[in-house]
Structure 1
């Protein structure tokens, strides 16, 4: 869409069929800088000025439509994969072409079938003991009476949990992964929405560092695959690596080694930082809400779970960690309500704007878990894990991990509350974390 075709926000048309959404009259580079550096503010201001559907033109994603109307979000997530595919470019740039992020259509459906078993039912129940063990091990050294950041301990807990559930045991290889994954996640998150240069960069450049990491990661994972394939008890193992090595597509073929490595990197990279970020926000919120904290502690002591689950839902709404989900128009055009979106455009669902919609969540600025007690969140307005066919496959795993970590910490520690100002959100490229790291003061319960 050219700037001359843009619709001014002050002169909306009464019939938008076949028309394009309104967009700001700003140069592409200015829009790109605003989106990259001040994404939440840019999206919020755009919705305030233009409404729940508006267009932007930015580097990386190109011509893009931003949506925060629940009914239109439904149409995006329920669209045929012949019409909408995964946003282009996407995180497969970081995780590799064998990652589920790179696949669409039948290939995507088949891969999700292979990945589903470890993340449902009894499999997740079996991981609870691992989560509790890692929480107790990490919290054993927490300082009593002194303020400390919880974000880093949460990252270590979630990384160790995903490593143990993926590979099933500890060892030299996992020690290497513990060392190289955190700096890779930090760098990869920052580079995830940065255009890749059309020329080869040096080994000291960010892209060169990502390539070096990938070589080392593949080396370690291929060694672990060799060990697993040589294990006479492989058929009895319940870790994710073993499940992937045993799995077969409908035609009887197995995943290639490189695809297995790409998927494991996806699970490790995407499967721990976002959960850790949410847990960091959990402590940030509980420090400032003594009534919620007291109710949670009482429930833990009585063996309940309902209010803790409601708190997790509200936490993910009130402190959105991943603020958008994207699609790419593959069809000649895509009808988004009254608007017509041309082939090649991107569509970004503004998750944070949905979570802040006062018509759906009254007083959205208020942290109130009771809004989800005996009331499930709306499917297409509560979207911390995205939606549709590309909804995060590890959603249930993440929920269980948050539940067990909070239950374990509250059973063993008292969290001091006060009226400290809320921590601001810090943008880490992909996820939003508490700027000061979710700082708290704790003491052990006797």
Structure 2
């Protein structure tokens, strides 16, 4: 029986944070980690807030209840409203729900599984070697920007297959768009024309330029006699059809490619910057990674390191759903229609009952053991990040390649503080490191 079929006479919402709406907005926008941590201590692992943009919301930091939300029927819960489709476009998978979302996910799945990802490993290694060739030795530098360049070049090459003038142009316009789009993603869009020089006007201008470039690349791909043999994501999407035999429209292809480019590189780059920030301060972990890497027999410890990294330094800290049904029953609570349910992923990753001594950075907690269901850096359920396996391989290959060619200097520097960039949380100093070539 769905929530829609249950008697809706009684609505029971969790305890509410009794602060003015504007104050909660400031806290969520600028001090979210501290605000949620403080609220959890005072009100428990489920509580209500009311903020502009998302409106009345229930924050969930309980692992079991988070799983219930992720596994809920799409008739009850849909994607959080509003969402990143405001930035990526109405043809993005972020904009779709129900059967349309399922059909699009099925269409997008092939490039992100099995042999397809294996084919991209060489590209990842090549881009890592190209970027690190100019790294300074014995001098402290930020790792965040190099990681952003690596991940952007990787996703551009895997999406479009080869370099060219169009890709050079996209390399130029995407980084400033990501920075601006991240800041605007959680702000309400004005109902009036703000002009071409405003942030919204600049986003619209970027979108026109992006679409023009992608449409040209689509025309080139469709005219390519080797299209059937190509392994890039654009070719795979152009060859794919829905069950009724219809292809994606060029605009939907452009929206999805922008989604992949926007969501597919910054979060991975941010996680990699945290990787170097952690390694600088954990010589024992670094030594074990280097030893395993030099043996070349396995990547078990490197995978455990990546999992602990995503838990200990969670880059995307919440995942949202919108209550579509008349209400949604969540544990003892009955959440009304129209509410947002926010899964506080970073706070769940800090749950001491699931992850003992959660403040400690300890890859061993993921070694030779089943990954807890409370480990959710990619979200969960039908909206779990479709590029999760790709991101994992990318981080694995980048770390493997860097450790093969460089020695990372360790010291007792204080941990870098967490910096919020609008969507992702990054090391405030950019993940500074000092390296020497091996």
Both proteins in one fold, TM over 0.5: yes
What residue is the counterpart of 2:304 in the other structure?
A: 310
* Corresponding residue to 1:365 among 355, 359, 363: 359
Indicate conservation of the 8 Å contact 2:11/2:336, yes or no.
Answer: no
* Corresponding residue to 2:335 among 338, 341, 344: 341
Indicate conservation of the 8 Å contact 2:143/2:430, yes or no.
Answer: yes
Using the alignment, how far apart are the partners of 2:366 and 2:289 within structure 1?
Answer: 14
Using the alignment, how far apart are the partners of 2:33 and 2:196 within structure 1?
Answer: 33
> Quick check: 1:329 aligned with 2:285?
no
Using the alignment, how far apart are the partners of 2:370 and 2:135 within structure 1?
Answer: 35
What residue is the counterpart of 1:132 in the other structure?
A: 125
Q: CA deviation at 1:18?
A: 4.0
Q: Gaps (5+ residues) in structure 2?
A: 1-9
> Quick check: 1:150 aligned with 2:143?
yes
Q: CA deviation at 1:29?
A: 1.2
Deviations 1:47-78 (A, max 9, x none): 11100100000000000000011111111001
Q: CA deviation at 1:37?
A: 1.3
> Quick check: 1:80 aligned with 2:73?
yes
Q: CA deviation at 1:31?
A: 1.0
* Corresponding residue to 2:403 among 400, 407, 410: 410
* Corresponding residue to 2:289 among 296, 299, 308: 296
Using the alignment, how far apart are the partners of 1:362 and 1:368 within structure 2?
Answer: 10
Indicate conservation of the 8 Å contact 1:201/1:208, yes or no.
Answer: yes
SS of the residue corresponding to residue 47 of structure 2 reads strand
Indicate conservation of the 8 Å contact 2:312/2:349, yes or no.
Answer: yes
Using the alignment, how far apart are the partners of 1:27 and 1:439 within structure 2?
Answer: 39
For 1:160-171, list aligned pairs within 5 A.
160-171=153-164
* Corresponding residue to 1:439 among 425, 432, 436: 432
Using the alignment, how far apart are the partners of 2:200 and 2:371 within structure 1?
Answer: 40
Using the alignment, how far apart are the partners of 1:25 and 1:291 within structure 2?
Answer: 45
Q: Gaps (5+ residues) in structure 1?
A: 1-16
Q: CA deviation at 1:93?
A: 0.3
What residue is the counterpart of 1:270 in the other structure?
A: 263
Using the alignment, how far apart are the partners of 1:151 and 1:135 within structure 2?
Answer: 13
Q: CA deviation at 1:25?
A: 1.3
TM-score, normalised on structure 1?
0.95
Using the alignment, how far apart are the partners of 1:365 and 1:402 within structure 2?
Answer: 22
For 1:47-446, list aligned pairs within 5 A.
47-303=40-296, 304-379=298-373, 381-445=374-438
SS of the residue corresponding to residue 231 of structure 1 reads coil
How many aligned positions are there?
428
Indicate conservation of the 8 Å contact 1:416/1:442, yes or no.
Answer: yes
Using the alignment, how far apart are the partners of 1:71 and 1:360 within structure 2?
Answer: 11
Using the alignment, how far apart are the partners of 1:60 and 1:363 within structure 2?
Answer: 35
CA RMSD, Structure 1 to Structure 2 (Å): 0.7
Indicate conservation of the 8 Å contact 1:18/1:338, yes or no.
Answer: no
SS of the residue corresponding to residue 22 of structure 2 reads helix
Using the alignment, how far apart are the partners of 2:88 and 2:11 within structure 1?
Answer: 37
Using the alignment, how far apart are the partners of 2:396 and 2:285 within structure 1?
Answer: 15
Deviations 1:309-353 (A, max 9, x none): 000000000000000000000000000000010000000000010
Q: CA deviation at 1:20?
A: 1.1
